Structure 1
Amino acid sequence: MSVTEENRKNAERARKLYVEGADPVGEATDWAASLAEIRLQVVAALAASHDLRDLRSALEADGKHMLIFRHLLAPPKSQDQFKLLCDEWSKGSEKSGLPQKPNAVRAVSEVLVRWMDREIAPWLSANRDATEVERERLIERVISFIAPKLTDTQKRNRLSAEQETAVVKLLRSLNWTQLPSVTIDTRAAVAPKHFMNKTRFATATTTAQEVDIACGFAASYVAAMECKVTNDATNSVKRINDVLKKAAAWKAHWGSFVETAALLQGVIKPEDVQRLTDEGVRVFWSHDLDAFARWVQSRV
């Protein structure tokens, strides 16, 4: 893959600004919040499962406990890794908290028991109550696994929210009108010089895909723009893949009437930027919003 000089320069500029904008105080606050949040979740999961002796009851009460249980396995499992071990499990239940069907809960519990790290929960093999020291050791270990990832997510979400806010303010300053967010399922759903924030585009073969900003252009054309902030080059692969997946779904359903765009910020590999442009996704940068302003104004 040949990376254009423009993509390389913009990626380097974004990385430099990301490093220069690092905020020790803000990130320390994110870290402290993550530690407190995960501690509460571990304590809740232990209480709901009677110190891991009754996993089924905990899962029947709240699917979110799986976040904790997955990190008590030897070794801890990602969602995708656990799904390979237990196809009956619904990954979405971990986010929604909804309980699953009894058969699914039974299957999940069996896998958890089989893979549970007995070293961190010695009371299970000894068939006794956990001591306060053992319980605290378990809590601290789970926190050490999850808190760094949660802190990165919180930082990315915070920067992404700021990124979207900057786009909304820009569009309003250009006298664009913000519409209530509804599922876009017809070509004329977004009139020229109108936009929606956090809405969905209907697709033919998949569920409606959420888009950060939808801008109405002339002749019923619409721009679907994803705002992406990445903390490191590895994370950029996932974020770019997400944009490309949505772009493919929109193109299959809408053809050329939906133009996919991406507003990028943070640490992004030049090769990932090139993947976007090679697939026809228009790339813009948070450090050059004027380029985005000129583009949307030229389309109405």
Structure 2
Amino acid sequence: MTVTDENRRNAEHARKLYIEGADPKGEATDWAESLAQIRPKVVAALRASNNLRDVRSALEEDGGHMLIFRHLLAPPKSQDQFKLLCHEWPKSSERSNRKQKPEVARAVAIVLAEWMDRDIAPWLEANREPTDLERELLIERVISFIAPKLTETQKRNRLSAEQENAVVDLLIDLGWEKLPSVTIDTRAAIPPKHFMNKTRFATATTTAQEVDIACGFKSSYVAAMECKVTNDATNSVKRVNDVLKKAAAWKAHWGSFVETAALLQGVIKPDDVQRLTDEGVKVFWSHDLDAFANWVRSRV
């Protein structure tokens, strides 16, 4: 893969702006919010599982406890890693807090027991109640695992919201009209110079794919724009893969009717930018919204 000078130059400029724009107060707030969110979750998981003696019952009560249980393993497991160990486990139950069926909870509990870090919960081997100090040490350890990741997510979400709002404000300033968001399943669903924020495009083979901004162009064409902020080069791979997955689904269903675009910001590898352009995704940058403005003007 050969990275163009333009993609390399824009990626480096975005990285420089990201570093220069680092906000200690904003990130400190993200960190404090992460700590405040996680501690009650750990306490609730311990209470529901009788201090880890009965994780099965805890999962039958609330699948969201898996966020905590996964981080008690040696080593802690991501959702995908745990799914490999226990194919019965529905990953979505963690985010939705959906109760797990008894047979699923049983299978998950067996894997958790096998991989549990006994040093983090010494009372299990001793068959006794934990001391206050032991419980607090466990709580603090789990927080130390989860809080950094949650903080990065909150930071990215905060910047993404600002990025999305900038696009919405720009379109309104250009005289575009915002429409209520509905699933787009027919051509001409969005008239020229109209747009939707957080809507979905129907696809033939997968569930409807959400898009951040959908812009109506002439001749019933629509631009599906994904707004992506990345905190580091590793994260950029995941964000770009998400755009490419959606672009492929939309192309398979709609052909050239839907044109995928991506608005990028943060630390993004030039190679990842090139992957987008090589697949026909139109790339724009938050530091150059004028280029996006000129593009939408030319399409209506």
TM-score, scaled to structure 1: 0.99
Is the 8 Å Cα contact of residues 178 and 194 (structure 2) preserved in structure 1? Answer: yes
Query: Using the alignment, how far apart are the partners of 1:45 and 1:98 within structure 2?
Result: 14
Instruction: After TM superposition, list the pairs within 5 Å mapping 1:1-300 onto structure 2.
Output: 1-300=1-300
Q: Considering only aligned residues, what root-mean-square deviation do their CA atoms show, in Å?
A: 0.7
Q: Runs of 4 or more off by more than 2 Å in structure 1?
A: none
Query: Using the alignment, how far apart are the partners of 1:60 and 1:197 within structure 2?
Result: 37
Cα displacement string for residues 77-98 of structure 1 (whole angstroms, at most 9, x for unaligned residues): 0000000000010111111111
Q: 1:46 offset after TM fit, Å?
A: 0.6
SS across alignment from 2:2: coil
Judge which range, 53-62 or 254-263, deviates more.
53-62
How many residue pairs are counted as aligned between the two chains? Answer: 300
Q: 1:40 offset after TM fit, Å?
A: 1.2
SS across alignment from 2:207: coil
Letter in 1 for 2:218: A
Cα displacement string for residues 171-223 of structure 1 (whole angstroms, at most 9, x for unaligned residues): 00111111111111111111111100001111110111110000011111000
For structure 1, list consecutive stretches of 5 or more residues without a partner in the other structure. none
Query: Using the alignment, how far apart are the partners of 1:31 and 1:84 within structure 2?
Result: 31
Q: 1:294 offset after TM fit, Å?
A: 0.7
Query: Using the alignment, how far apart are the partners of 2:234 and 2:208 within structure 1?
Result: 27
Judge which range, 103-112 or 253-262, deviates more.
103-112
Percent of pairs with identical residues: 82
Q: 1:31 offset after TM fit, Å?
A: 0.8
TM-score, scaled to structure 2: 0.99
Query: Using the alignment, how far apart are the partners of 1:203 and 1:131 within structure 2?
Result: 54
Q: 1:100 offset after TM fit, Å?
A: 2.1
Query: Using the alignment, how far apart are the partners of 1:292 and 1:100 within structure 2?
Result: 46
SS across alignment from 1:94: helix
Letter in 2 for 1:9: R
